[in-house]
């Protein structure tokens, strides 16, 4: 009984670790630089985090089923590239280009889904392979040359609605849509059930294969959208675009509370995680940390995310064991 308060404190800290770290980052960098907490800077942080957050919302769906998608960085590159080529060569509009990027991303997700669900290849291997395949195909299409998007696309990416930047609005809409799907629909409940116990979900009549297939399509569609939102802000796509972004996306989802072991996480966890990563990046710039040390800090964030996820999983297993009643011997 003496350890009861201590255990409760540990459980509480574990459950709210992400929020505590988020507040700690705000306080630390706010003390280091007064301008860090200005509304303009915080708005800029959310805007810069928007494209990673959009993709991270999709990644949460995959992680909830205990899967992984390493190809999102390449999808972020190839999907807007296809849209950009159609805009340049066929004159399609900005919004049609946006739809094309989402659709192209969904098709790439369908390829991942087919390999993972139908051919039953390990998701890590599948998405690592398609990471190189999608990027290689994009390099083939461009001949390693950069693609400049028309001014209309940049105007869209830099525009505001009632003073709110378009990337933030789209980020919010994606997060809200993801939250509604996961918390208010049958499909959302099936996603959680598949991640928590696939065998029990199958026995309950859930088509777990179809559920897993759809989450990969959703994830890649979000990656296509996120890539287009980013390119709409910078206006130029080169062969390095989106490279390594898969690590930011996974770190954002896990750091926000999604579990690599499946069954745990929300769409809003991706929002918190993506914003937190961008807060650190911006804070390092504000405090004048050496540019070459910043990747090390980013690696530390990813390590922290995995560490917190492992602690959460251990605590959950401990709690489950406490509620398992031993079988009574037959009388």
Banded model confidence at residue 12, pLDDT cuts 50, 70, 90: low
Contacts of 104 (CB under 8 A, 6+ apart): 78, 79, 82, 83, 224
Q: What is the pLDDT of residues 15-73, one digit of tens each?
A: 667 777 788 888 888 888 878 888 888 899 999 999 999 999 999 999 999 999 999 99
SS3 100: helix
The yes-or-no verdict on residue 185 having pLDDT over 90 is yes
Task: For residues 282-296, give the mean pLDDT.
Answer: 79
Report the C-alpha gap between 135 and 214 in whole angstroms: 22
Report the C-alpha gap between 240 and 218 in whole angstroms: 24
**Among 291, 277, 287, CA closest to 34:** 287
* Range among 202-216, 275-289, 303-317 with highest mean pLDDT value: 202-216
Tokens 């675009």 belong to which residue? 241
Residues 92, 243: contact at Cβ < 8 Å? no
Q: What is the pLDDT of residues 77-112, one digit of tens each?
A: 999 999 999 999 998 999 999 999 999 999 999 999
**Among 158, 174, 271, CA closest to 221:** 174
């Amino acid at each position: 009984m003496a350890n009861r308060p201590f255990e409760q404190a540990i459980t509480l800290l574990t459950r709210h670790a992400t929020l505590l770290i988020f507040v700690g980052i705000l306080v630390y960098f706010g003390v280091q630089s007064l301008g860090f907490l200005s509304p303009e800077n915080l708005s800029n942080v959310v805007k810069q985090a928007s494209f990673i957050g959009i993709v991270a919302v999709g990644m949460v769906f995959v992680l909830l089923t205990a899967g992984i998608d390493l190809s999102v960085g390449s999808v972020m590159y190839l999907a807007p590239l296809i849209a950009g080529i159609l805009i340049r060569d066929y004159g399609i509009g900005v919004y049609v280009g946006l739809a094309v990027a989402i659709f192209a991303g969904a098709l790439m997700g369908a390829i991942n889904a087919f390999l993972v669900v139908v051919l039953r290849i390990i998701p890590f291997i599948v998405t690592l392979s398609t990471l190189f395949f999608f990027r290689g195909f994009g390099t083939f299409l461009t001949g390693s040359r950069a693609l400049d998007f028309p001014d209309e696309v940049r105007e869209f990416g830099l525009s505001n609605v009632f003073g709110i930047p378009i990337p933030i609005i789209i980020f919010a809409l994606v997060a809200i849509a993801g939250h509604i799907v996961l918390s208010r629909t049958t499909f959302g409940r099936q996603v959680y059930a598949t991640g928590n116990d696939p065998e029990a979900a199958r026995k309950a009549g859930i088509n777990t294969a179809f559920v897993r297939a759809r989450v990969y399509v959703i994830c890649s569609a979000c990656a296509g959208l996120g890539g287009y939102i980013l390119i709409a802000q910078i206006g130029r796509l080169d062969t390095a675009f989106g490279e390594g972004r898969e690590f930011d996306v996974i770190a954002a989802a896990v750091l926000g509370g999604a579990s690599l072991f499946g069954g745990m996480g929300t769409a809003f966890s991706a929002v918190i995680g993506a914003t937190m990563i961008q807060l650190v990046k911006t804070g390092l710039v504000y405090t004048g940390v050496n540019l070459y040390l910043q990747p090390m800090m980013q690696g530390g964030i990813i390590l922290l995310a995995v560490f917190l996820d492992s602690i959460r999983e251990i605590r959950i297993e401990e709690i489950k064991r406490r509620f398992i009643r031993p079988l009574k011997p037959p009388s």
